[in-house]
Chain A
Amino acid sequence: MITVLAFYLFATLTVLAGAVTILARNPVHSVLWLIVAFFNAAGLMVLVGAEFIAMLLVIVYVGAVAVLFLFVVMMLDIDFAQLRAGFVRNFPLGLLLAVVLLAEMGIGIGAWSVGGIKLGTPDGSAPTGAAASNIEAVGMLLYSKYLFLFEAAGVLLLVAMVGAIVLTHRQRSGVRGQNIGRQIARRPDEATVNVKPEVGQGVTL
């Protein structure tokens, strides 16, 4: 009973938040509604028993990706007139995308009564024992059957990270960098001088 109520709550909110994400006029509001949608999707994941995926969804998407979205969008100087200017030009492309999505949804609904998806092994049995918890099951698969794919994904991310650093790093000339070690090693007796200048003499530093 409670799970049913929770499902309808999460599902309705996900759909509504998704719709408002598109319909909201203010981009910041859009991002915030998107976050609501992510969060409720995580709730749906918990309901189907995929608690690990749910937590990852919240940590990665809500906690990191959406914050960066919000950062960018908040700092934009939003001109609403300019935003609407491209409507007619982009209309055919948008229509095409909408038709493709509609077709996909049609196929999805058509597959409603086909039955469960056979995941994992060819005979349809679960790849790991049902007794294993979510994280154990995922870990078991990632580090055995999909080890090379997993490591390839890791290398891919590393390359992307290095690439991002290389692309944005620039060496500016004429800038004196900080030497943190020297700053920390500095002590008061070598950094300050106590002098008693004669009146009118001034101090040389």
Chain B
Amino acid sequence: MTAFFNQWMSYDAAWLTATIVGILLIALPLMLSVAMVIYADRKIWAAMALRRGPNVVGPWGLLQSFADGLKVFLQETIVPSAANKGLFLIAPIITFTVALMAWAVIPFNSGAVLADINVGLLYVLAISSLGVYGVIIAGWASNSKYPFFSAMRASAQMISYEVSIGFILICVVMWAGTFNLNGIVKAQENHVWLFNGFVFNPLLFPMWVMFLISGMAETARAPFDLTEAESELVAGYQTEYSSMSFALYWLGEYANVLLMCALNATLFWGGWLPLIDIPFLGLFPGIVIPGWLWLFAKILFFFFVFSWVKATVPRYRYDQLMRLGWKVFLPVSLLFVVLVSAWLMYTRYGI
């Protein structure tokens, strides 16, 4: 895209324009899809509870999220008088921004990535470790007890699960031999016979299961939504928030969930590669499913899994959550780092 704009302007200006266009190309559809997946989430949840879900605004209730958005947009922003005003207002912005930032390195097709950097996966880890600040700052700046408890829980939970996510990612990186997400996707091509994806590998399949569960804990989705456990903490760190600042948390949360689904797809299920390379598919040259469609299909499938879990699994107790993170996932992922590295050492370099 930079070369395209370079026809009319200097290289620097072309790069800047191309990057801004790229950011908009990712962020705007993402926001739209967040609105739609919120609707989908509610519909799936309702269907599993034998309810109808949103069905009034627009055909089949499709415009429900936009109606909600308009509603919160028109409401008054209330800042509690005891709150730390600046931080109180900046916290939802941090959550929202961080949720969008990590999308810069997700490859949508071969080479179709905003920032094709060497340290792509580390960038994702770095950005997801920033996500905790929106919650902590909200909890502290609200100057209220329940948000503070919630912030404590959230930060402990996110830090705990980041540790095991780190080890899981190390396994993937060792197998792929690169931190670049596009490279990781390419390394999954025909990984097991015709199947594209690390998940078909028996050594990495348990890692994927743990990554899925850790992803739910990392994004504080049910059954790990202890941070907003309404039976204990009112609405968690969002208790004091209203109007647009509340909506930013909402959007940020779902953007994070979509990001986790995208990471699941990219790291373990072959990203923009088709799930399976069928040789006779070449017989129909007219039918080529584009890569981004595969990625979107995988993301939506994992979003369905997230919703499914939310609808069916009861909430964890907090000590069980911590135990799962530190006493189960951490040792098991550490063991698999050793196993995977031993296997790769044996097969690639010899003993």
Residues of A within 8 A of B (CB): 1-2, 28-29, 32, 35, 42, 51-52, 55-56, 58-59, 62-64, 67, 70-71, 74, 133-135, 180
Contacts of A62 in B (CB 8 A): 126, 129-130
State whether B119 touches A59 (Cβ < 8 A).
Answer: no
State whether A180 touches B159 (Cβ < 8 A).
Answer: no
State whether A67 touches B159 (Cβ < 8 A).
Answer: yes
Q: Which of B118, B127, B152 neighbours the largest number of chain A CB atoms within 10 Å of its CB?
A: B118
CA A42 – CA B119 in complex, angstroms?
13
- Given known contacts A51-B118, A52-B119, A135-B179, is B129 in contact with A58 (CB within 8 Å)? yes
Stretch with Cβ within 8 A of A (4 or more), from B38-46, B131-139, B200-208, B250-258: B131-139
Chain B interface, number of residues (Cβ within 8 angstroms): 26
Considering only CB atoms, which chain B residue lies closest to A42 in the complex? B126
- Given known contacts A2-B12, A67-B155, A180-B323, is B119 in contact with A55 (CB within 8 Å)? yes
State whether A67 touches B132 (Cβ < 8 A).
Answer: yes
Contacts of A32 in B (CB 8 A): 87, 137
Q: Within B42-99, which residues are at the interface with A (CB < 8 Å)?
A: 87
CA A67 – CA B158 in complex, angstroms?
11
Q: Give B166 Cβ to nearest chain A Cβ, in Å.
A: 8
Considering only CB atoms, which chain A residue lies closest to B12 in the complex? A1
Contacts of B15 in A (CB 8 A): 2
Pick from B16, B125, B136, B148: contact of A70, CB under 8 Å: B136
State whether A134 touches B118 (Cβ < 8 A).
Answer: yes
State whether B137 touches A55 (Cβ < 8 A).
Answer: no
CA A42 – CA B129 in complex, angstroms?
14
CA A149 – CA B331 in complex, angstroms?
26
Considering only CB atoms, which chain A residue lies closest to B137 in the complex? A32
Contacts of B137 in A (CB 8 A): 32
Contacts of A29 in B (CB 8 A): 87
Chain B, residues 132-162, CB within 8 Å of chain A (1/0): the string is: 1100110010000000100010010001001
State whether A28 touches B130 (Cβ < 8 A).
Answer: no
CA A58 – CA B125 in complex, angstroms?
9
Could you list some 14 contacts between A and B, CB below 8 A?
A28-B140, A51-B118, A52-B122, A55-B119, A55-B125, A59-B122, A63-B132, A63-B162, A64-B129, A67-B133, A67-B136, A70-B136, A71-B152, A134-B119
State whether A64 touches B140 (Cβ < 8 A).
Answer: no
